[in-house]
Structure 1
């Protein structure tokens, strides 16, 4: 098996599940929204960097930096949208 044989969707799911307890450790409904957003951005950055490396396949070259920026931007936008739904004025956590 090679890196390029790994199913990217399965990889993302497995890594996401592993990161959540680490990145969101100590967080609960009393944690301020800005802390949730900071942690979400950290999570997006970690996932973006990992995806960039996986995208390179068997050999990592200088293009990994550009790919990392691209994936981090995509992940940040996705996480910001998700957390906006949770933390916004009508968000689920705002009602707690």
Structure 2
């Protein structure tokens, strides 16, 4: 049960916020909120960066939305799913 006095005045209800935003903005907002609360988890952020990449965001946009620099974004993508991030990329053969 909630002990906050303002919440006790409306028994049986829990306050919520409904964000009318695109999915990628909702994800980024949740991450920023969790970082501010100190409950940020590396593996979850890594999975989110992969998900945002799959939604079409560039690494620069992911970094901007999640408050990370380019190196941090790349490290997050390397932690989980590096192969899936680059599966659509064409690479030259290293041996001719």
After TM superposition, is the score higher than 0.5? no
The normalised TM-score by structure 1 is 0.30
More relative contact order in 1 or in 2 (CA 8 Å, sep 6+)?
1
The normalised TM-score by structure 2 is 0.30
